[in-house]
Amino acid sequence: MEQDIENLRQQVDYLQEQLHKQEKMASLGLLSAGIAHEIQNPLNFVINFSKMSVKLLEQLHEVIDDCSDKLSEDDAADMEDISADLKENLSKIQEHGERAISIIRGILLHSRGKAGEFLPTDVGQLVHEYVWLSYHAMRANDKSFNISIHEDIQEGMPQIMVIPQDLSRAILNVMNNACYTVKERAALEGDSYMPAIEVKVALKQADGSSELRIDIKDNGMGMSKEVQAKIYENFFTTKPAGQGTGLGMAITNEIITKNHNGQILLESEPKVGTTFSFIIPVKTVK
Ligand SMILES: Nc1ncnc2c1ncn2[C@@H]1O[C@H](COP(=O)(O)OP(=O)(O)O)[C@@H](O)[C@H]1O
Ligand SMILES: [Mg+2]
């Protein structure tokens, strides 16, 4: 507990430090994205601790039940009332914490330009941020789970004209699936398996035309040919109810092929893993 409070304190300090850095930036969009990013972590603490406290309360209940014969009827009734109130308070904390998280996600998605707007973008930075975001969202639910994430982002790329709001969502969708699948495989195979995700960003420039390529490779469960054939369909999911909407790849496909006039390559093999590659013709900004 003390350690967790110390961690939280460090995160708040870090947040303040980041805030100070961000304040110097003129762009309000960048500022709100930065804050939103950093606030997610402490907020996840709040939610997870209230979840944990509900479980503790249940245990406390069992203890009290065990020694109910030693309590007067009044005392037992009081305890019942208090613990019911506590439980309700905790669920309120969780509910509103979760609401705050969803507001923050909204800010993150909308802080980079209006819908559908092509903007000069540091694509390397954008990819890095959303890879990070997906990883931490996954870790917030399971602190003990680790993935080795390797990023190979071409250095010195110019600003690239993309729809940052859309591209970031596409990265997040593919990354969330990658995190999910390596976690699934880890649960099946145990310690002998090393979950790994590789992310590569490269820009190919040849006389007047440029091509952006983003690869996200996981060593997760892989997909059968049947699944691969349906993956871009709306509402196609193999995940249990509540875990998947089946919309992530449909939206991603629209973002890359329609909005960015690019293509998605998919390579996947069961028990080996999956690579998604976005190939997008782009304009760069000098
Ligand atoms: N990296 C991946 N590895 C294995 N299966 C994947 C991967 N990405 C997507 N899939 C499969 O494609 C389906 C559709 O993905 P998606 O559209 O993101 O919806 P959802 O994640 O909500 O199920 C998933 O349910 C899963 O079966
Ligand atoms: Mg998905």
pLDDT in tens, 201-239: 999 998 889 999 999 999 999 999 999 999 999 889 999
What atom of ligand 1 comes closest to residue 178's alpha carbon? 1
Name the band, by pLDDT with cuts 50, 70 and 90, for residue 112: low
CA distance 86 to 175: 37
Residues within a 6 A CB radius of ligand 1: 173, 177-178, 181, 218, 220-221, 223, 227, 231, 236-239, 244-250, 274
- Tell whether 187 and 231 lie within a shared domain: yes
Q: Is the pLDDT of residue 18 over 70?
A: no
**Ligand 2 centroid from CA 24, angstroms:** 36
**Ligand 2 centroid from CA 176, angstroms:** 6
Query: In the 8-state DSSP scheme, what is residue 23?
Result: H
pTM above 0.75, yes or no: no
**Ligand 2 centroid from CA 177, angstroms:** 5
Query: In the 8-state DSSP scheme, what is residue 249?
Result: H
Which of 111, 134, 158 marks a domain boundary?
111
- More confident position, 231 or 104: 231
> Could you give the dihedral angle defined by the CA atoms of residues 177, 181, 183 and 187, in that order, rounded to the nearest 10 degrees?
150
- Tell whether 136 and 246 lie within a shared domain: yes
Query: Average pLDDT, stretch 237-256?
Result: 88
CA distance 19 to 38: 9
CATH number at residue 142: 3.30.565.10
What HEC string does 77-118 produce?
A: HHHHHHHHHHHHHHHHHHHHHHHHHHHHHHHHHHCCCCCCCC
Which of 47, 76, 111 marks a domain boundary?
111
- Tell whether 105 and 157 lie within a shared domain: no
| Separation in Å, CA 96 to CA 5, 25, 92, 187 | 21, 30, 6, 31
Which of 92, 111, 130 marks a domain boundary?
111
